[in-house]
Amino acid sequence: MAQKIGGVDGKTFMLAFLTGFEVECKISEWMLPQHYIKGMHSSGTVGTFGAYAAAAKLLGLKGEQLRSGFGIAASFAAGIRCNFGTMTKPLHVGRAAENGVTAALLAARGFTADPDALDGPWGFYAVHGGGVSAEKVSQSFGKTWTIVDPGVSIKPYPCGVLTHPTIDLMLKLVTENNIRPEDIEAVKAFAGSNILNPIRYPIAANHLQAKFSLPAALAMIALARKAGKKEFSDAFVSSPAMQAMQRRIATESDPEIEKMGFDKMRSRIEIKLKDGRQLEGWADERYRGGPDNPLSDAELEGKVRSCCEGVLPEAIQAELIAAAWRAPRENDATKFMEIINQRS
């Protein structure tokens, strides 16, 4: 949208991003949890509103135009969790961005929608979320900034965040005890339904399923002590070693973890070794990359480089990272896309 408008400086660009971020988070926070529990994918549904708000901020929409845009976005919002582990899951996010921009452009041209499309009797909250949380709504928009409290999570691994604490625990057990793949007889990962229901593939056949498979992620750690872009590839996941290792790893529902509630991503692991030893551990509830245990600047830059590997040369990766750090001081925000579009 900044490219379409032209002349958008870095500070305005970041303000639009944070506007979209806060609107998206507040809608998610205000809704009752059943939106996600019933199978809606918030990144696709509520993500549409975030994209809309960011685009609307850049376009300067106000009053009835701004309100109509929310109504348009409410009808565009879509995405169901049954598509986790397929190409359609990431498509949800792309369509949310596209639909948010489209809603803003339509509203700017005078396209109308129901002014009560968010909180009316047939509005998004009622239809998609079963209502709103009165406690959350009473906080009022802007009274609590989500970017500050609770803050953001940045995923160290390219897979469902619900797997991350368990992956880190597996890495800790394997490295601290110098466990080789051939030493492992069996692994059991215990968790509650908040993790085991969406992370649903007992054996992943490809990289898309692996993003929602604890056995696949833990098998990567057992074999490579890494779970990055290379490991989350069809070639690695379908390899005989990965397929065999996954069959040594099982997940199991733990009633005690279930009783603890869903406020944290709790899990534990038991590794049975061929020499008769058994290794056990609990995952750190202060998961790496989360607000309570954020990535360092170096780790964050490493994540960017990992995402760009094989796509952008190292020199351009460095240029992109440098531009991102100085984003609020940029005269022209479209410089980011100019850097990304370079190939050499």
Q: What is the pLDDT of residues 259-297, one digit of tens each?
A: 999 889 999 999 999 999 999 999 998 899 999 999 999
Decide if pLDDT at 69 tops 90.
yes
Domain 161-282 matching CATH 1.10.3720.10: the answer reads no
Choice among 124-133, 158-167, 247-256, 276-285 with the minimum mean pLDDT:
124-133
Domain 2-137 matching CATH 1.10.4100.10: the answer reads yes
* Mean pLDDT across 109-122: 95
Predicted confidence band of residue 319 (pLDDT cuts 50, 70, 90)? very high
| Res 263: pLDDT | 87
CA distances to 76, 121, 135, 214, 226 from 199, in Å: 27, 34, 30, 7, 19
Q: CA–CA separation, 173 vs 178, rounded Å?
A: 8
Predicted confidence band of residue 144 (pLDDT cuts 50, 70, 90)? confident
* Mean pLDDT across 214-229: 97
* Mean pLDDT across 320-344: 89
Domain boundaries, the chain: 2-137, 161-282, 297-340
Three-class DSSP category at 197: coil
Q: CA–CA separation, 262 vs 327, rounded Å?
A: 36
Q: What is the pLDDT of residues 165-215, one digit of tens each?
A: 999 999 999 999 999 999 999 999 999 999 999 999 999 999 999 999 999
| Res 155: pLDDT | 93
* Mean pLDDT across 98-102: 98
Q: What percent of the chain has pLDDT over 70?
A: 99
* Mean pLDDT across 146-154: 92
| Res 344: pLDDT | 56
Name which of 176, 159, 246 is nearest 211 in CA terms: 159
Q: What is the pLDDT of residues 25-61, one digit of tens each?
A: 999 999 998 899 899 999 999 999 999 999 999 999 9
| Res 290: pLDDT | 92
Predicted confidence band of residue 219 (pLDDT cuts 50, 70, 90)? very high
